Amino acid sequence: MKAVVDQDECSGCELCIETCPEVFEMQNDTAVTKVDVVPPEAEETCRQAAEECPVEAITIEE
């Protein structure tokens, strides 16, 4: 599984980082993924971060 953050849509609210710090981090006021492949133990929280993103900037690729 892979997570992708749309840099044009991200509002920088940091909710994804609070929810899944294993996958997301801030870079220049927007969230980015810090792993190429989401670790299996972080898949559930990564999906949660994508679902809760207020601007729907996170896409999950299976």
Q: Which domain holds residue 22?
A: 2-33+43-61
Distance between CA 48 and CA 9 in Å, rounded? Answer: 18
What pLDDT is attached to residue 43?
98
* pLDDT, position 15: 98
Q: What is the pTM of this model?
A: 0.94
Predicted local distance difference test score (pLDDT) of residue 4: 98
Q: What is the pLDDT of residue 51?
A: 98
Q: Is residue 38 part of a domain?
A: no
Q: Which residue has the tokens 């870079």?
A: 27
41-59 exposure pattern, b = at least 16 Cβ within 10 A, e = fewer: ebbebbbebbeebeeebbe
- Report if residue 25 sits inside a domain: yes
Question: For 3-56, how does the pLDDT look when each residue is reduced to its tens digit (9 = 90+)?
Answer: 999 999 999 999 999 999 999 999 999 999 999 999 999 999 999 999 999 999
